[in-house]
Structure 1
Amino acid sequence: MRSLGSLCITTAVLGRFWAILYIGGRKNAQIMQEGPYSICRHPLYLFSTIGAAGFGLLLDSLTLTVVFGLGAFAILSLTARREEAYLRATFGAAYDDYAARVPRILPWPWLFHAGPGVELNLYALRRNLADALVFIAAFPVAETIRLMHQAGLATGFGIF
């Protein structure tokens, strides 16, 4: 389970960087429809959900995997709805057309398409690095909890 959790968290970090390369500083300024935004409208939320579930896997707990994964998905789905209200008000029919073709968070990989390049925004990448550190911090936190559990210091937690 820990190996799968590590894979999920690595996927979350790399996936978030992939999405940031495309959206850069253009969030809410245009409708991004290429790269990860061609397979789902909110790839940052997709990868964050994968990372949250990965943390549960790192803790060797299917219960926490489901709670963290579904919890993140539910919260981020609500956030996406609020963002989409703004995008519909800003871009009108163009956003409606995009939303009709591309799913909100769960990806449809066969829709993937990308242009010849992406515009690099170092500020957006730096900001995403700070967000990625939350997921990277899952490794030492999970290991500390595992060691505490092995030492008998976390035996009261029935979810592990």
Structure 2
Amino acid sequence: MSSPPRAMPVNQLIRVNILRVAFVLTLPLTICAVSPWSGPLREIMDVVGIGLVVAAVLGRFWSILYIGGHKNVTVMQDGPYSICRHPLYLFSTIGVLGFGLMLGSVVMTLLLGGLTLAVLSITARKEEAFLRGKFGLTYDAYAVRVPMIVPRLSGFKTEATLTISVPHLRHNLMDALVFLTFIPLARLLEHVQAVKVLPGFPIW
């Protein structure tokens, strides 16, 4: 009898394209949404949003320090990978939540963050089908101990030394810096709403 076909690594380009399409579909709502909040509360939302975007960049950078050069080669279980199995997806979601807060809308924050988390969760499950097939009981034990995306900080551990892949680090740094474009983009959208180029409506 022939053996069943082995699961293949997930094509990450598909994930990226799905997120791009989702962003384009929500763009009209994002452009026309006017923040109903003002004063100190609006400023706090903005500051927290910027903080989350910066945390996303640093978190993705931190994650690639560990996984760069080791992806699909070994089951990484240290550093950010000791608190959740997909920290890159965790920090990506955090960055999108920050963008929503900078827009000044709780609804947009939950919508954009929830949509991102849903797409990345589906991708994570597909990735894990491959990882379970390749690493077997080792990955099963890891999955039992460490949550998928929502982190468990009490599980943090790391070795004293770390082998870093500079090419992977450089590539991910560019990917992570893309999240910083959320800050000027939010400012641009705020300006568009202020000059009333397009009809706007409040979204809480």
5 Å matches for 1:105-124?
Answer: 105-124=149-168
CA distance in 1, matches of 2:184, 2:151: 30
Residue matched to 1:78: 122
**Alignment partners' CA distance in 2, 1:136 and 1:38:** 26
**Alignment root-mean-square deviation, CA:** 1.2
How far off its partner does 1:147 sit? 1.1
Q: What number of residue pairs does the alignment pair up? A: 160
**1:59 matched to which residue of 2?**
103
Q: Percent identity?
A: 51
Residue of structure 2 aligned with 1:49, choices 65, 69, 93: 93
Which ranges of structure 1 fall in alignment gaps of 5 or more residues? none
Residue among 111, 133, 138 paired with 1:89: 133
From 127, 137, 149, the counterpart of 2:181: 137
Q: Distance in 2 between matches of 1:111 and 1:91?
A: 21
Once structures 1 and 2 are overlaid, which stretch shifts more, 125-134 or 85-94? 125-134
* Offset, 1:158: 4.1
- The structure-2 alpha-carbon separation of the partners of 1:155 and 1:2, relative to structure 1 and needing over 3 Å to count, comes to farther
TM-score by length of 2: 0.76
8 Å CA contact 2:193–2:200 kept in 1: the answer is no
**Unaligned stretches of 5+ residues in structure 2:** 1-44
Q: Is the 8 A contact 1:41 1:103 kept in 2?
A: yes
- The alpha carbon displacement at 1:130 in A equals 2.1
Distance in 2 (CA, whole Å) between partners of 1:73 and 1:117 is: 32
Deviations 1:60-89 (A, max 9, x none): 111110011111111100000000000000
C-alpha contact (below 8 Å) 1:19/1:36 kept by paired residues? yes
Alignment of 1:33 onto 2:77: yes
* Preserved CA contact (<8 Å) 1:145 1:154: no
Aligned equivalents of 1:40, 1:67: Cα separation in 2: 23
Other-structure match for 2:67 = 23
Give the secondary-structure state (helix, strand or coil) at the position aligned to 1:137: helix
1:10 positional shift: 0.6
Between Structure 1 and Structure 2, whose CA radius of gyration is higher?
A: 2
Q: Secondary structure at the match of 2:129?
A: helix
